[in-house]
Amino acid sequence: MRRRFNVTGVCIPGRHYMVDISRQLEQIRAMIDNGDYFTINRARQYGKTTTLFALSKLLSGDYLVISLDFQAIGNDSFQNENTFSLAFILLFLRCLRRLPKEETAAFEEQLAKLQELLEKKEKQFVLIHLFDQLLEICRLSPRPIVLMIDEVDSAADNQVFLDFLAQLRNYYLERETFGTPAFHSVILAGVYDVKNLKRKLRSDEAHKVNSPWNIAAEFSVDMSFHRDGISGMLSDYEADSHTGMDIEEMSGLLYDYTSGFPFLVSRLCQLMDEGLGGDVYSGSGAGSWSKEGFFEAVRILLDEKNTLFDSLRGKLQDDPELDASLKKILFSGVSIPYNAYESTFEIAAMLGFIKKNHGKVAIANRIFETWLYNLYLSGTELKNIDISMAAQQDMSQFVTGGRLNMRCILERFVVHFHDLYGDSDVTFVENVGRKFFLLYLRPIINGTGNYYVEAQTRDLGRTDVIVDYRGEQFVIELKVWRGSEYNRRGEAQLMGYLDSYHIDTGYMLSFNFNKKKEIGVREIVLGNKTLIEAVV
């Protein structure tokens, strides 16, 4: 069977191309060997289920692994302790029955009791009785038992689940102080950190705020894919497919655009493997696995509806405060210090939207940033913005022979911006100038190109927009005019930035509030670089 890239369910070695996660597994194994109870909380589709599956295989020689999924329980099972305890037994038995008989022989009598309770639907069976049975199994088991529970988010807004955690905590403490037989290690996996369950609770249940999971060890294992891991996966693929790709270039592009987010890496690879239909643009080189093919895969990914983007959109609709914070990060041009105690940042990081970058808040990766820009710039409240409509009227002027004419775009933007907003005050332009340029740019490149904002250069005075269009890249610096000397420093910075992208022409858009300014576009030659500067 031909191996494939996989973005649904568990990744299986031998069936799917996979990044080697053995380093992460060994780090988690060390926590388990230490007897830790902990939570693996990462964003949706970050590889949690695949990690648990691989971990259970790794541990099987030394531990008895009970791997459960709370999505299989159903909401009705959380009505009370009795319904939950019986549902838990069902999952528990289902998992143990998959093991060889010799694995469970030592506590077969207890399993028979649980089966009988389940068949009778015993009404008096509650959490304390459940844990009596579970701890007896722990006592009789010839090997330490590791309990893994995936998708705990499906239970996290139920009081019975908090009570379940409290029981786990109680017996963890008794294990430490009195030597009571208990689970050797417990791993809960989900998006939300169950130490912060109050974030999931309804307002009328505000009294349920004390976390019963304060025994949990800190989980700091980096589960993102790194450049060398992506390169190893591509090497496996190349050995089978012989595309002729530049593996180092491709792994670099995948990491730079995704920051190693597992779903995004795998989906882009899947698109290049299956979805582009051969050579791209020039028809030369490695075809779909060329730089041009990569940018086409990015374009397709950003245009599609998928489970990850649907989940992110749902989170924004459910949390207006989060939505407003992300808009501020994207459009204000302000570099915001990261504060772990800021609740909105905490939620945004937990859901995968943002990360800490050199002490500042940054969108987690270029794909998410462009997806968010597309989402906000195509919202119903922006569809009738005059500057966007002007761009659509000028569309025929901006592409010649399949190439984007960025100078022409700047020239027309200067004209339209001056006509529409030339009399606006400084505050208005500082707040929306960047947004309006992106509103003008988006319909021009939409469907063919992509763009993102370079996080390392985002500050109050400067923002660099990178445009990818049919394999060609453009760097446009957006800045507020702060005087001639400041402008010269900006030009020098941009020249250095062009070197890192290996391109010779850069673009600068300056929002100038000087009444004596000369609006328009000029060309400046600095060494071996050319700068096209527009002033509005």
Domain spans of the chain? 22-205, 227-304, 384-536
Contacts 24+ apart (CB under 8 A), 520-525: 520/411, 520/414, 521/407, 521/410, 521/411, 521/414, 524/491
How confident is the model over 240-258, as pLDDT tens digits? 999 999 999 999 999 999 9
Does the structure show a pLDDT above 50 at 433?
yes
What is the reported pLDDT for 285?
43
pTM: 0.88
Long-range contacts of 87-90 (CB under 8 A, 24+ apart): 88/130, 88/164, 89/114, 89/117, 89/118, 89/130, 90/118
More confident: 529 or 482: 529
* CA distance linking residue 81 with residue 330, whole number of Å: 45
Over residues 176-189, the mean pLDDT reads 96
pLDDT in tens, 11-48: 999 999 999 999 999 999 999 999 999 999 999 999 99
Residue 132: predicted pLDDT: 95
User: How far apart (Å, rounded) are the C-alpha atoms in residues 31 and 131?
Assistant: 23
CA-CA distance, 340 to 342, in Å (whole number)? 6
Report whether 427 contacts 378 (CB < 8 A).
Answer: no
Asked whether 437 and 391 are in contact (CB, 8 A), the reply is no
Report the pLDDT value the prediction gives residue 484, as an integer from 0 to 100.
65
Residues 47 and 7: their CA atoms lie apart, in Å, by 9
8 A C-beta contact, residue 44 and residue 352: yes
Tell me, which fold does domain 22-205 have in CATH?
Rossmann fold (3.40.50)
Provide the residue count of the chain. 536
- Mean pLDDT score across all residues of the chain: 87
List helix spans (H) across 271-405.
Answer: 291-303, 307-318, 320-331, 343-350, 366-377, 386-393
Contact predicate 481/511, CB 8 Å: yes
The residues that bridge with 508 in the sheet, in sequence order, are 477, 533
Tens of pLDDT, residue by residue over 70-102, are 988 877 888 899 999 999 999 999 999 999 999
CB atoms within 10 A of CB 357: 16
The 3-state secondary structure of 104-167 reads HHHHHHHHHHHHHHHHHCCCCCCHHHHHHHHHHHHHHCCCCEEEEEECHHHHCCCHHHHHHHHH
pLDDT tens for each residue of 265-322 = 999 999 999 867 544 554 444 678 998 899 999 999 999 999 999 999 999 999 999 9
Q: Which amino acid is at 223?
A: M
